[in-house]
Copies of this chain bind each other. A is one copy, B any other.
């Protein structure tokens, strides 16, 4: 590893956070409307400059809190892209993260310019900065993570029904799952446990509420 001698020739570094949530059966992502050039009028993944002395993950958490007001959610580094922003001479870097938030806890920043909004992943608006690539990569990672970790804890309230959990999985995977197999698997993984409470969902039999045995990331 080279000595890191200070130099003016170092590219600007942005930290960018793909924020996912699931709302009534759809996987959604938070985007910002650009009111300034470049790419004015397009939508972009929220992000900003890394402050001097700030750690990457701190910067990502800061962006997340700025945009949604939530903290203590699942946050993972995705990939570092270069040249996303094709206008900076000498190039630029974007260290991307992805985060999962329970829609019920989010309070979107209300700004007149740069307004944030949720978009369904399969109906995205025109995006700035090759953000299609970033989102595609984030979705792929999320789908993988879902299979062998408990990340879904970050998308649901502390107590939830198995049907809610199944809908979250279905939204992310983009396909329907068999109810019996899904329940069997979730319970055998021992990442969730039943509480003694029930919750009615409109008409129909009330469902048992479950909780995650751990609300920290756990690899299965």
Closest to A80 in B: B80
Partner of A90, one of B2, B53, B85, B93: B53
Q: Is the interface on chain A under 10, 10 to 19, 20 to 34, or 35 or more residues?
A: 35 or more
Tell me whether B2 and A47 are in contact (CB under 8 A). Answer: yes
Q: Would A91 and B52 be within 8 Å (CB), given that A7-B12, A11-B10, A13-B13 are in contact?
A: yes
Q: How far is the CA of A129 from the CA of B48 in the complex (A)?
A: 27
CA distance A37 to B197 in the complex (A): 61
User: Roughly how many angstroms separate A46 CA and B3 CA in the complex, as a whole number?
Assistant: 11
> A2, B48: Cβ atoms under 8 Å?
yes
Report the minimal beta-carbon distance from A3 to chain B, rounded to whole angstroms.
7
B4 touching A88 by the CB < 8 A rule? yes
Residue contact A4 to B85, C-beta cutoff 8 Å: yes
The 8 nearest A-B residue pairs measured at CB: A2-B48, A9-B52, A1-B47, A4-B92, A4-B12, A52-B90, A80-B80, A4-B88
Question: Would you list 27 pairs from A and B whose C-beta atoms are within 8 A, ordered by A residue?
Answer: A1-B45, A1-B46, A1-B47, A1-B85, A1-B128, A1-B129, A2-B47, A2-B49, A4-B87, A4-B92, A5-B49, A6-B12, A7-B49, A10-B11, A10-B12, A10-B49, A10-B52, A11-B52, A13-B93, A52-B90, A53-B89, A53-B90, A53-B91, A55-B91, A56-B82, A77-B79, A93-B95
